């Protein structure tokens, strides 16, 4: 997997990519990252990369020319033009912007499958719209809030995609069971000691009964998702048993006194 990152602040990436999972993936030759300074592609004497917006208003806008020159240097003008003409994407050119589509695990999987992506980190009020018309294939936001630039969002995408590259995570189970991989939030985890300051690990996890543990975990994942992110349930793959369990949760919410009549829940969970 190869990442090209275009930024005005290359130094921001140093420490993040020098540690942890991304570093291990790079050291193992599974991932490569090239950071490109947009300023190096500014043509004028002072290497200016931004200018005042046409039509007035506050803030500055990133100029189109240095960004397109950087992209052409990295990918070649032909590939960029062909992608725009045909809509057939070989290398996604992703602009990080709060006005983009919301990044999620499915998008991370999609980007990983390309094997090569380009990330453009916007700054200031935004970038000249013509970069989107000429080159950008995806505009992506990492959340409904505004950051000072696309650098941290680019780090988020590099990390999320790197984790999906085959061989990067030693234990594949960790990946498969991750929050969001199944479309649900993850169940809670516990490790030793079995009791801490009066708080017990749920009995079922100590039982050695794998089927019961699996059922408890599934129900915890369903319960958490139902409580915190009900929007995810619409797209999650649910079995008949899952649906029955969710119905029970809903009934309990509507008439809490019916709690005792809950036939489906694996009972040995922690207090909520
Ligand atoms: N740039 C500024 N805020 C952003 C966000 N939320 N996502 C992506 N890029 C951004």
Query: What's the per-residue H, E or C state across 142-170?
Result: CCCCCCCECHHHHHHHHHHHHCCCCCCCC
160 CB-near residues (< 8 Å, 6+ apart): 103, 105, 108
* Ligand 1 atom nearest residue 122's Cα: 1
Looking at residue 260, what is its pLDDT? 56
Looking at residue 160, what is its pLDDT? 98
Ligand 1 centroid, distance to 90 Cα (angstroms): 24
Query: Cα separation of 200 and 180, whole Å?
Result: 27
Task: Please tell me if the CB atom of residue 141 comes closer than 6 angstroms to any atom of ligand 1.
Answer: yes
Burial 169-200 (b: 16+ CB within 10 A, else e): beeeeeeeeebbebbbbbbeeeeeeeeeeeee
Residue nearest ligand 1's atom 7 by CA? 141
Domains, the chain, with CATH or none: 2-172 (3.40.1280.10), 195-261 (1.10.1270.20)
Q: What is the pLDDT of residues 1-45, one digit of tens each?
A: 999 999 999 999 999 999 989 999 999 999 999 999 999 999 999
Task: Please tell me if the CB atom of residue 144 comes closer than 6 angstroms to any atom of ligand 1.
Answer: no
Ligand 1 centroid, distance to 20 Cα (angstroms): 24
pTM above 0.75, yes or no: yes
* Ligand 1 atom nearest residue 148's Cα: 2
Known active-site residue 178: yes
Q: What is the pLDDT of residues 161-205, one digit of tens each?
A: 999 999 999 866 566 667 677 899 999 999 999 999 999 999 999
Looking at residue 256, what is its pLDDT? 83
* Ligand 1 atom nearest residue 144's Cα: 6
Q: Among 12, 123, 149, 158, say which to mutate for ligand 1: greatest number of ligand atoms within 8 Å of CB.
A: 149
Known active-site residue 98: yes
Query: Cα separation of 212 and 203, whole Å?
Result: 11
Task: Please tell me if the CB atom of residue 153 comes closer than 6 angstroms to any atom of ligand 1.
Answer: yes
Tokens 């998702």 belong to which residue? 225
Instruction: State the average pLDDT for the chain.
Output: 93
Known active-site residue 163: yes
Closest by Cα among 193, 196, 169, 191 to 181: 169
Looking at residue 38, what is its pLDDT? 98
- Taking a C-beta distance cutoff of 8 angstroms, is the pair 191, 52 a contact? no
- Selecting among 72, 110, 159, 178, the annotated active-site residue is 178
Q: What is the mean pLDDT of residues 215-234?
A: 97
Looking at residue 258, what is its pLDDT? 64
- Selecting among 65, 72, 110, 125, the annotated active-site residue is 125
Taking the alpha carbons at both ends of the chain, their separation in whole angstroms is 41
What one-character DSSP code corresponds to residue 31?
Answer: -
Residue 62 burial (CB count, 10 A): 22
Residue 268 burial (CB count, 10 A): 14
Ligand 1 centroid, distance to 189 Cα (angstroms): 31
Looking at residue 125, what is its pLDDT? 87
Residue nearest ligand 1's atom 2 by CA? 147
Ligand 1 centroid, distance to 91 Cα (angstroms): 21
């Amino acid at each position: 997997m190869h990442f090209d990152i275009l930024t005005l602040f290359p130094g921001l990436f140093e420490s993040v990519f020098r540690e942890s999972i991304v570093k291990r993936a790079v050291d193992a030759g599974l991932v490569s990252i090239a950071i490109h300074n947009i300023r190096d592609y500014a043509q004028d004497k002072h290497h200016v990369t931004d200018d005042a917006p046409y039509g007035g208003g506050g803030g500055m806008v990133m100029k189109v020319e240095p960004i397109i020159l950087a992209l052409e240097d990295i990918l070649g003008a032909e590939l960029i033009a062909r992608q725009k003409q045909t809509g057939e994407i070989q290398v996604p050119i992703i602009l990080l912007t709060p006005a983009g589509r919301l990044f999620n695990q499915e998008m991370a999987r999609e980007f990983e499958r390309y094997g090569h992506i380009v990330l453009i980190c916007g700054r200031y009020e935004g970038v000249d719209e013509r970069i989107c018309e000429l080159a950008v294939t995806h505009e992506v936001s990492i959340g409904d809030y505004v950051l000072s630039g696309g650098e941290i969002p680019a780090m988020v995408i590099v990390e999320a995609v790197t984790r999906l590259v085959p061989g990067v995570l030693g234990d594949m189970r960790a990946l498969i069971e991750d929050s969001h991989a199944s479309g649900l939030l993850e169940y809670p985890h516990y490790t030793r000691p079995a009791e801490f300051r009066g708080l017990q690990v749920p009995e079922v996890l100590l039982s050695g009964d794998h089927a019961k543990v699996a059922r408890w975990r599934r129900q915890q994942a369903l319960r958490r998702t139902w409580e915190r992110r009900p929007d995810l349930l619409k797209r999650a793959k649910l079995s008949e048993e899952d649906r029955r369990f969710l119905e029970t949760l809903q009934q309990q919410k509507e008439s809490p006194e019916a709690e005792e009549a809950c036939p489906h829940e694996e009972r040995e969970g922690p207090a909520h």
